Amino acid sequence: MTFPIIHQPTLCALHGLPAVRFLLCLCCLLGGGILAQPAENINERLQAMVNELWQHAVTTCWSERTGLFYTRPPAKLPPTGVYISEAQYRRGEYRTAPYKKGDENSVGYNLHGGGTGTEDCSLFTGPLLAAMCDQYAITGDRTVRAEALRAFKGLKCAATAHGCPGFIARGVCHEDGKSIFAGTSRDQYTNAIYGLWRFYHSDLAEESERQDIRAILCAVADKMTREVTPENNWSFDFAYGVKDDRGVGKMYEKEHLLTLRLAMFYAAAWDVSGKQDYYGRYRAALPDSLAGAKAFTEQPPEKIKWSSPPYTVLQNNEAFRLIYDVEKDPTQKAAILDAMALYTAYVAASPHFAPAKYKSPRDHGEIIGGLLLCPTYVMPVESAAILQDDIRKLWPKGWAGSIFTIIPAYWQARIRGYFATATPPSNGGRQ
């Protein structure tokens, strides 16, 4: 009989549970029990299912022209003709009302592309690129580079196709490879920057790609410097000079967690360029970022409920992880880890963020995947079972948005030692 591999961190998470609960959770983690599949390594099968989900995502929701992943097949995305022009945006000829399903005439006047399938391309493609870096780090399989390049091409397109330096679009038209909705958000930026930064430090990347990433991250930092000012309500502008209409581009507030994103953007640019101006701006934003993490954990639960959706867990810990990894001063590095651990522990203990509260695998992936980015976090067996169950539910052809978050969560779990297979580890990537 071949027994499934359960890695030591998972067993640690089981320690201390009552005997009956221990056995029930263990059986759940193993996918129904050892006896049900006596000759199959559950973890090997889980990895195969994740790889098949990736291939499904590529064949159904990835655009060869743009390199971006969309939440619907390209054939069902808005055609070029419904996007409005740069001149129209600059004249203010657009609406901010949501897209009306089935009404193509409303698409072009939707600032953020809501409901079109193009509104979260950068948000999803960034973590997928990071996932490919994790996969390579675990397997050492050089064929993963071709898959990573799919996502890299998409993020590069989102940052350059429109000709606005430092702007990262939500998505790009799959037909002409350049038309965009002018709106975006710090959420799109955060996931895109994290994916690009991970790829930059992975052995999967070549120097030409690192040069492209350096240019993109520096352009973003320069845009923040120009536009994130008191006069602009601490927000950056959307494409073509369009102003932030709902606060989703706001990057600074005193002793507020959102300032962490600003610190992250500058830290990423400093890390890849070595420019001291970016370093100074990163360190200037850091005190309010760390104080904001503490303040967040002291908020009333009812305020957290309305201000912090599940996707913020992934994004906040991406920001924390990036600045933690690039920081060189031991004292400051320890302070960053303390703040990250405090935030992570609060989220892990909060009923609002309990994965079991949410039905969507997308939410599970963003919560669990985000928590796993913290080096001090130990994944409970219940969360591991939810992640495994989500993979099985989505396989072989689940909803794209959920696949896009479950794949990164799975490979982040693998980096942390969960769901280990017989495949020997490699040092092929940075984590």
Are 292 and 260 within 8 A, CB to CB?
A: yes
Domain-embedded: residue 247: yes
Number of domain units in the chain = 1
Domain-embedded: residue 91: yes
Whether the predicted pLDDT of 335 surpasses 60: yes
Whether the predicted pLDDT of 154 surpasses 50: yes
How high is the pLDDT of residue 108?
A: 59
How high is the pLDDT of residue 2?
A: 31
CA distance 161 to 153: 11
Domain containing 272 equals 51-377+401-415
Supply 431's token pair: 């984590």
> What pLDDT band is residue 383 in, cutting at 50, 70 and 90?
very high
Domain-embedded: residue 143: yes
CATH code of 360's domain: 1.50.10
Alpha helices for 62-143 (secondary structure H): 86-90, 121-139
What's the average model confidence in pLDDT over 396-418? 97
103 or 339, higher pLDDT: 339
Average pLDDT over the chain, rounded to an integer: 89
CA distance 341 to 336: 9
How high is the pLDDT of residue 306?
A: 79
Domain-embedded: residue 21: no
Whether the predicted pLDDT of 10 surpasses 80: no
Domain-embedded: residue 308: yes
CA distance 369 to 406: 8
Are 187 and 131 within 8 A, CB to CB?
A: no
Whether the predicted pLDDT of 14 surpasses 60: no
Residue in 208, 217, 106 with CA at minimum distance from that of residue 155? 217
Domain-embedded: residue 14: no
> What pLDDT band is residue 91 in, cutting at 50, 70 and 90?
very high
Supply 263's token pair: 């610190």
* pTM of the predicted model over 0.75: yes
Measured CA angle at 383 (ends 381, 389), to 5 deg: 100
Which amino acid is located at 320 in the chain? F
CA distance 220 to 226: 10
Domain-embedded: residue 391: no
Residue in 318, 365, 374, 369 with CA at minimum distance from that of residue 344? 374
Give residue-wise pLDDT tens across range 274-332: 999 999 999 999 999 999 999 999 998 778 887 899 999 999 999 999 999 999 999 99
Domain-embedded: residue 5: no
Ramachandran region of residue 73, left (φ > 0), alpha (ψ -120 to 50) or beta? beta
